[in-house]
Structures are given as C-alpha cells and as structure tokens.
Amino acid sequence: MNKKHQYLKLFIFALVLFTILPDQGTCALNIENIAEVNLKDQKSQLPDYIMMDLGTLGADESRATAINDKGQVLGWLKYGANKYCFLWDKNDGIKIIDTIGNLLNNKGQITGTNYIWDPNIGAYHINIPNGTIKKINENWQGIGELTIKIQNGQKTHAIFWDRGNVLDLTEELGNLLITEWRDIRAVHLNNNGQVVLRATETIQNSDSKTYLTRSFLWQDGIFKMILPEKTTSSVSVRCIDDHGNMIVNISNKGNFLLNSCGTLVAHSPYLSYCKIINSQPTQVYRLPGELKKDLDGQLYYSQGAEIRKLIEDEGPFYNVSGGTGHNTSTKIRDQNSSGVVVGDADTFLSGRHAFIAFPKYKTADYGG
C-alpha cells in the first residue's frame, strides 16, 4: 500500500472517530452547575386522573405490580395462602397466568427468577447449574448470579445470559482490574444488551483501608468505568434505559441523571425512587409518606404522591383517610411512558384491590 492510501485511511479513521466522540463542550462535567429537578412544579402540570378498580375474580385481594407501554398490567391474586399471577388488559380483563413474575416488558413477557413467560409459547425455564437469572430484557438476554465453590466456602459472580449462553462478567472484569476488588454484581440491563455493574474497590491507606463503590458499563465484551474522575467518591448506578441514560448516586453529592454522552443533567435527592421515562427521571411513588420540603422550605407533593392524591379523590370506594388528605396505605407500584399508573389500596369492599389510574383524556383507551 502506498503512502497516499495510508494517509487516506488515517484521515478516514480520524474523521469517524471525531463523529462518534461526544462534544466535550456539550458533555463537560460540572456538578456544581447542575439544575435541581423541580418536582414542585410538576403538581400544576398534571392532568386530572380517573381511577379504575381491576377487581379480584373472587379472590381475597389483588395487587398490581407493573404496567407496560401497551397498557397491560401485571399483578397477583391472593386466595387464602395461595398466590396467582394475572395479566390484565382493556380487552380481556384479568387473565390468570401459570407462573409468578414481577417484571413485565412491552412485548407482554413476564419475567421472574430463572424463567420467561411469553404470550406465544408460555413459560420458558432457564436452567443454569448453581446460577440464577433475575432480570431479563425483551431480547432474551438477562443478568444474574453464579455461585462458585471455593476452598473455604463459596463466592458469587455476576453473569450475563444470552439465549442460553452464559458469560462470567466478574471473571472478565476482574482480569482487567489492578487493585483489590470485591462484590462485583450486575444490577441492571437494557434492551440493547448494555449491562450496569457495581463493584467495591479496596484502597489501602497508610494505616487503614477505604472501600468505594464503582460502577461499570458493559456491552459486547467492552467494559467502561462510569465517572472514573470521581476518585474519592462512591459512584453507584441504579438503572439504565434504552437510550443509555442512567440514574446514578455520587456519595456526598446526591442522585443524578447521567445522559448517554456522559453529562450529569439533573439532580435531586429523590431520584433514587425514580425510573427513567421518556429519557427523564420520573418519581414513581411506591411507599406511603408525608409531604416533602423543597429547598425553599415549602411543602410539596412529588409527582408520584400528587398522582396518588388525585386518584384517591376519584376512587369513592377506596378507604381514603389521614390528616394529609390521602390514605397512607395506597401504593403506586409502576408508571408507563403515557403517565398511566398502577397500584393497590385498602377498600371498603374486601381487602386490598389492584387499580389502574389514567389521565382523563385517555378514558377512551381504557374504557373508564
């Protein structure tokens, strides 16, 4: 190959590299200048909600645990000491599923420990000796743990499962690290096969040891440390969406939304209770609690708590009580990208009932 062709190849390579690297001006990291997520203003932006009881099919009680973007609801029914999984949609109502699961994706698949329930093939069990798959995406990929026996007991490794093939992520990452590490775990994955891992780094000081949490992004055999410049802080990623956005906790700084180009774009003390919806941190109000105080000292509802307040005002058969004007036993379990939420609450009828609540302008979509 002559020099002219060599220079041409180098130029093309440099041009491609320039196009895929993030703009450092756009992606510059400056924690001090990140705006607070103004959850207080979300109260006035919310539409009116309609609450609809999903019923129990004669069971003692029902709970709704997840909703996907198709409006399908996953939950369970309790008959005495027995629990049965159900899938609800607006056309067929509640349908009993022959499995117990806690995650529902946009393909209508239900996932639990070591299995996938698919609407076309039924239950598919994953058999990994001494292994457990806990989270599965829409493309038959999952993350979990593998128990390995050692001389003095056993240890746990993080694994990636891809249509029957198992990769030991702890071993792969451990081979790349220089300092002493422990507790390498896979915590989340998206539908693109990107996996977030957390690990504990042991730093030897002159007279003691310091332990810091580090987070890594893995995809197609490549590991990348998340926020490696935070050398004296723990960095703990909680989840990642399909666009590569993550919710990350930085010790002594709080919780942030880290976008796909590596910029910290939002900050809030309550992001740890959020999920990423439409590339934005959205607080799903899972647990009962009191009103929060904003930085200016004013009381406000987070978005999830305000939705809960709105739907309870619309649910006359629900046992609404409490000095703050809402029933502290009502729980919102999940929310989809259209703002539709599901949960359960005590009723005057018979135990707890699962419900779905949707903005009034979506009444035709749900038959409310």
Q: What are phi and psi of 99, to 5 degrees?
A: -165, 170
The CA distance from 194 to 240, in Å, is: 8
Cβ-contact 173, 184 below 8 angstroms: yes
Of the chain, the end-to-end C-alpha distance in Å amounts to 71
Render 52-89 in DSSP notation, one character per residue: EEEE-TT-SEEEEEEE-TT--EEEEEEETTEEEEEEEE
Cβ-contact 258, 236 below 8 angstroms: no
Cβ-contact 234, 250 below 8 angstroms: yes
Q: Which amino acid is at 228?
A: P
The whole-number pLDDT of residue 300 equals 39
H/E element holding 95? Answer: strand 93-97
Helix, strand, coil percent content, the chain, rounded in steps of 5: 15, 45, 40
Going residue by residue through the chain, which has 368 residues, state the pLDDT in tens, using 9 for 90 and above.
544 444 333 333 232 222 333 333 344 444 444 545 544 444 446 667 777 888 888 888 899 999 999 999 999 999 888 899 999 998 888 888 877 788 899 999 998 888 889 999 888 989 999 999 989 999 999 999 999 888 787 889 999 999 889 999 999 998 887 667 888 999 999 999 999 999 998 887 888 888 899 999 999 999 999 998 888 889 999 999 999 999 998 987 878 889 888 888 877 666 556 788 888 777 675 443 433 444 344 443 444 455 555 555 554 444 444 333 344 467 788 889 888 888 887 776 567 888 888 888 888 887 65
Q: Is 51 left (phi over 0), alpha (psi -120 to 50) or beta?
A: beta
Render 235-250 in DSSP notation, one character per residue: EEEEEE-TTS-EEEEE
Question: Exposure of 179 by Cβ count < 10 A (0-12 exposed, 13-18 middle, 19+ buried)?
Answer: exposed
The CA distance from 292 to 302, in Å, is: 7
Contacts of 281 (CB under 8 A, 6+ apart): 37, 247, 257, 266, 268, 271, 274, 275
Neighbours of 236 (CB within 10 A): 20
The whole-number pLDDT of residue 220 equals 94
Q: What are phi and psi of 360, to 5 degrees?
A: -60, -30
Contacts of 10 (CB under 8 A, 6+ apart): none
Cβ-contact 326, 308 below 8 angstroms: yes
Strands 153-162, 110-112: pairing kind: unpaired
What tokens does 339 get?
Answer: 């703002």
Name all contacts of 127-133 with Cβ < 8 Å and 24+ positions apart: 128/159, 128/161, 128/166, 131/159, 131/166, 133/159, 133/161
The whole-number pLDDT of residue 295 equals 39
The CA distance from 358 to 368, in Å, is: 9
The CA distance from 231 to 125, in Å, is: 42
The whole-number pLDDT of residue 251 equals 87
Contacts of 185 (CB under 8 A, 6+ apart): 145, 156, 158, 197, 198, 199
Can you tell me which residue has the tokens 């190959």? 1
Residue (of 96, 86, 89) closest to 63 by Cα position: 86
Residue (of 191, 283, 169, 184) closest to 240 by Cα position: 191
pTM of the model: 0.78
What distance lies between CA 368 and its chain's CA centroid? Answer: 28
Cβ-contact 194, 219 below 8 angstroms: yes
The whole-number pLDDT of residue 64 equals 92
The whole-number pLDDT of residue 175 equals 81
Q: Which amino acid is at 279?
A: S
